[in-house]
Structure 1
């Protein structure tokens, strides 16, 4: 659908835009979404980056602590291994000296020299704190001499594992398990060597009993200080038998489990290494460094508790978290507050934008109202004079028709068509200027629209198909039927111009209810009349000005720019609204929202003069009040041709003086008033207008009919309150004839009915 274009209005539109910009200068667009996404990204980064940093630092710190623990265990086990090696080497030397002492002596010889050997054993073993006792055993395992007792008690170790192992040549048993010594009387483990006789056969065993407590005390000193509880030390045989351990536990096992990383390492003969294992002795996970003690079947173990590593790591992590996340939390709070402030700022911005837009709209509407007011004043004056000219043409045309003009029928028909075009143009001008009087009536759309089909087809042309779709149960409307018909014609003509190659024009009617919360300018029940075409559509800048008076995109001479403005003005004055949607290539849809009527329908079809079939009234005495001499002359001639008596005056003041005189005469003589009807224009020179005259006449005699004529509706409401008939200039003579016939019938009835009868 193509609205009209009128080039001079472009300057007015640009001027209005410049005024808007001057009153409300443009401000930079606020991209709140970008700012919000930026803050959210910063917040995510402020959360993720510290967390990633803490995770990396925590992992690195834990690995470093494990490495430090392993290194400390290796250094400590090396010291313990050196210490154990010295002890075992010293014990081996001691065993060798005792073997030399008993050389060439059999069991009886040793028993015979027990006192001397006891003293020497006491001297040799008494200077070492780790040595609990030094003993010599015979071939049969009987105790022969000891550093602890003299004389020795009667006892035998023939069944002990260390005795049988040394006798049988098992190297492992050179270092026995921990036991309660028969000689020492305390927890010891023995380090023994065999004695051989002159024939080289097994002659017995020399044993040095070592105290595990000695090793535990050394380990306690070795692990002393703050790290004492973090590490453990163990002296263990290659078969897993525990010889000494620090720190001691109440339920300490005697041997390590057979299935463990350490047992596997011992079985493979590894001399040193580090394993991670669960300790049955300490009941927790350890990092264990182990070393083989010389050539002895003994390992020294140093374990670092995993719990100590974790505890130190937790302490460091707590400090790291506290030092890092305290400012991070502050930063999070700042960003969060910034997001909230941004939300409040966006809300305030939207409110400001809405207020600014509203103020611009109000300013624009005010300027438009002022322009429309000025235009209305100009149009009203021009249309009033133009209507008078049309009245002159119309009256004289009717006179010519009634008198008969042979050979001029074609010319008179052309004049009638031109007259109708002029009437339509004037009506459009008055409608846009809000000065066209509305004759609202209740309309049944489902019966009225089908009757308009031929009228719309004529406006659309043969190339365009017409579709009418009226929903079931459509509400009646309260509208001026003639104005609605004109609005449909205007829209149909625009649709035809937008579809030069043909298309489809659809008229749809549906019921719609608007609530206040819907945000629509209207509330209540309305009938939505949608008029859609499949034409070229409008560009956004054209769509924005579609309802602007005198704006057109049609070629010069093809449009007036009053079609869509008349539609908008008609809907607005009817209590509704007009809206338009369009896009280039997608067609145009004009929606008319017209108020629902509560009364029963009055109109059954398009507005048309419904003249009665009876003949024209005769014999009425009419007082014609018209200030335009030519209009008065033409109207008077027509009325006289209809058979009426006409008295013509040129202003309301003169007409009122006639009534004053007639009323005074009636009071003196009792004669009736000399007029049956007053036909008066509204706008006239003098102190009074036609409405004032009607009020004064009705004050004299409420039964006297008064018909007012007007070219626009500035005082139409007041005229209706006076309860008189109003004709819009230029009016149809047939309609005037119909009214005069009705008045004549009412007067005839009133002559036979003594009761007062109201004016029609």
Structure 2
């Protein structure tokens, strides 16, 4: 669109900002961002750094505690290993002494000397608390002599693993599994050596029974009460010989297929493993060590839950000592962020208020400018209206009197008169002084019906597309002004697309809520008119709605098209805006408020009832300050058959109305007052009408004006109103209606008089 609308900028903008409105200062906003980022960075550092420190310290403390647990386990293990080695070495010596005692004696010889041998065995093993018994077994596994009993009970170990293993040369079975004593039931394990005869053949077994309780008691005393550790004496095949303190679960061997079981199976001399112990029902750190050359290992297990419990206690102290000041720092930073947010909110409110103040000041200056321009335009339009009224009246006079041979010239004058009336209407619309005749219309029916009007305005080269959503709300507008707005926009689109294009008209419902940034809120019908023309540069778009501004060549544009569109939307309670991009066409947005009233239903045209014309003329008081307008109007009224009396202002009109009656009649002197509103003096036409309502209640009054604000006030008075420039035919129709009303009242009065006379006679 070009015509009365500038070409548009590269960027889109729905509502232009006032030209003198400064943007928000950038520095404070950036300062808020920097301060917020700094505080957030401090907050993150105050959270992350203590957490990293606590994690590092906690990890290091856990590793140290595990290392300390391993170290104390190894030290305790060495003590237990030295103790076990002394016990086993002593047992080895006892076995050797017993072997020397019975050397050269066969089984019968031992039985024969059983009493002496018993006494010797008791002397050898009786002084050691770990020794439960010292026994001599024969070639067949029979008990020959014992330090505990004399004579020995009948007992055979021929099928025991330690006997058969020692006989067969198994090193492992030199230390037996734990077993209950066959005589007294005491839990023991045996260390045995084989006896040889003179031929160096197997002659029997010398066995020393060791109490498991001795080792368990020693381990308990060594570890102390409530110790997280446990000591054990284990054969190389995993069989448990002694354990202290006693485990919760009864078990005869270590956990199968565990790291410790694998290490013992490999014959490892010593080491440390981590595992879950089924014996202790806990995760443990286990240190193990072989006891000399014996098939026996000492183990020391440290429960890891004890490590974790101590670590948790230390960690809680560390967290409290570390995060107590950190929490205070977090609160300070959080309060600083809250304060910063409050400051920023206050700053934004201040900026918004400042911007609003600048906008209001700009809008006030713009309103003052538009008001001044409107007053100027309104004054010019008013005078122009008077000139048009003179021309119109005289053209009507010429037509009524007949002017043979001048039909072409008179038609040209009438066409010029219509153009002048349209221009005056535009001027008054821009000046907000054009009276609006609002009515509710159904946009869904009305826009498609206006298609032909738009096609005629667009021309043959441009195509027209009309798209209306279903259920579009009705609007309350002046239909003539709406049509004029669409025509102006269509003409602009035609001029913006000299080589043809597409003009699209769309209508849809839209709702704006408070706080969404739109100047208005409520329910609107959004009408968009989009062309595919060249668009506008920014400087032109900024002045798009400015009255009398145009980019068209001289003589082709008035600069009133887009201002009329803007004024129409604004006075209808809505808004107009332009969206444009160079090379992408122009879109004009019309936001018209929804009407809650239903549009009138379409009715078929009714044939007017022909009534005989009342020929009697009226006595008309014409009040007009312009002599030429008064002369033309007077001549027209006289040609219509009416009698006219002229007055130049309201005061003189009142003088004529209040003058005595004439012809001795009781009827008022005037049947009608036809008055302009805008007149010199202290009273205008509306004041005159209000005065006449009190002075002559039944006297009809017709007021003529070209100003919207005067028309609105005039509608509150019980008078008929004509807006300038008016059609003479409309005035004649009003006069006919007044004449008919007057004739009807006169007939009613005559009938009432006749009825009264008849009743009297």
In 1, Cα distance between equivalents of 2:259 and 2:81: 20
Report matched runs for 1:390-405 at 5 Å. 390-399=388-397
1:710 pairs with one of 697, 705, 708: 705
In 2, Cα distance between equivalents of 1:507 and 1:756: 61
In 2, Cα distance between equivalents of 1:630 and 1:339: 78
Q: State the partner residue of 1:655.
A: 653
Q: State the partner residue of 2:293.
A: 295
- 1:315 matched to 2:310? The reply is no
- 1:230 matched to 2:228? The reply is yes
1:735 pairs with one of 730, 734, 742: 730
Q: CA RMSD in A?
A: 5.0
**Contact 2:475 / 2:592 at 8 angstroms: preserved in 1?**
no
1:189-239 CA distances to partner (integer Å, 9 max, x unpaired)? 3333333333434444444343334433433344347xx622222223334
Q: 3-state DSSP class of the match of 2:234?
A: strand
In 2, Cα distance between equivalents of 1:346 and 1:617: 81
In 1, Cα distance between equivalents of 2:258 and 2:446: 102
1:460 pairs with one of 458, 461, 476: 458
User: TM-score, normalised on structure 1?
Assistant: 0.79
1:538-586 CA distances to partner (integer Å, 9 max, x unpaired)? 5677666544444444455543333233233334444x32433533215
Report matched runs for 1:52-67 at 5 Å. 62=62, 65-67=65-67
- 1:452 is displaced (CA, Å) by 5.1
Q: 3-state DSSP class of the match of 1:688?
A: coil
1:697-743 CA distances to partner (integer Å, 9 max, x unpaired)? 55554454433332324433443344333333333334334444444
The verdict on how the C-alpha distance between 1:617 and 1:705 changes in structure 2, with shifts beyond 3 A counting, is: farther
In 2, Cα distance between equivalents of 1:70 and 1:549: 95
- Count the aligned residue pairs: 738
In 2, Cα distance between equivalents of 1:41 and 1:26: 22
**Contact 1:4 / 1:560 at 8 angstroms: preserved in 2?**
yes
Report matched runs for 1:234-633 at 5 Å. 234-249=232-247, 252-256=250-254, 261-323=259-321, 359-399=357-397, 412-440=410-438, 454-467=452-465, 479-507=477-505, 531-537=529-535, 546-555=544-553, 557-574=555-572, 576-580=573-577, 582-584=579-581, 585=584, 587-591=586-590, 593=592, 595=595, 597=597, 600=600, 620-633=618-631
The verdict on how the C-alpha distance between 1:355 and 1:399 changes in structure 2, with shifts beyond 3 A counting, is: same
In 2, Cα distance between equivalents of 1:651 and 1:502: 55
Report matched runs for 1:628-643 at 5 Å. 628-642=626-640
**Contact 2:614 / 2:740 at 8 angstroms: preserved in 1?**
no
1:485-523 CA distances to partner (integer Å, 9 max, x unpaired)? 333322322232333222344556678899999998878
User: TM-score, normalised on structure 2?
Assistant: 0.78
**Contact 1:142 / 1:154 at 8 angstroms: preserved in 2?**
no
Q: 3-state DSSP class of the match of 1:500?
A: coil
The verdict on how the C-alpha distance between 1:440 and 1:177 changes in structure 2, with shifts beyond 3 A counting, is: closer
- 1:679 matched to 2:677? The reply is no
In 2, Cα distance between equivalents of 1:334 and 1:623: 87
1:668-723 CA distances to partner (integer Å, 9 max, x unpaired)? x3365554443332233334333344445555544544333323244334433443
The verdict on how the C-alpha distance between 1:182 and 1:558 changes in structure 2, with shifts beyond 3 A counting, is: same
Q: State the partner residue of 2:211.
A: 211
Q: State the partner residue of 2:193.
A: 193
The verdict on how the C-alpha distance between 1:713 and 1:258 changes in structure 2, with shifts beyond 3 A counting, is: closer
- 1:175 is displaced (CA, Å) by 2.8
- 1:352 is displaced (CA, Å) by 6.1
**Contact 1:429 / 1:562 at 8 angstroms: preserved in 2?**
yes
In 2, Cα distance between equivalents of 1:447 and 1:97: 130
In 2, Cα distance between equivalents of 1:201 and 1:467: 125
Which segments of 5 or more consecutive residues in structure 1 lack a partner in the other structure? 8-12
Q: 3-state DSSP class of the match of 1:89?
A: helix
In 1, Cα distance between equivalents of 2:490 and 2:377: 25
Q: 3-state DSSP class of the match of 2:82?
A: helix
In 2, Cα distance between equivalents of 1:697 and 1:251: 121
Q: State the partner residue of 1:159.
A: 158
1:109-157 CA distances to partner (integer Å, 9 max, x unpaired)? 66777777666655554564444454555556666666567x6546555
Which segments of 5 or more consecutive residues in structure 2 lack a partner in the other structure? 8-14, 753-761
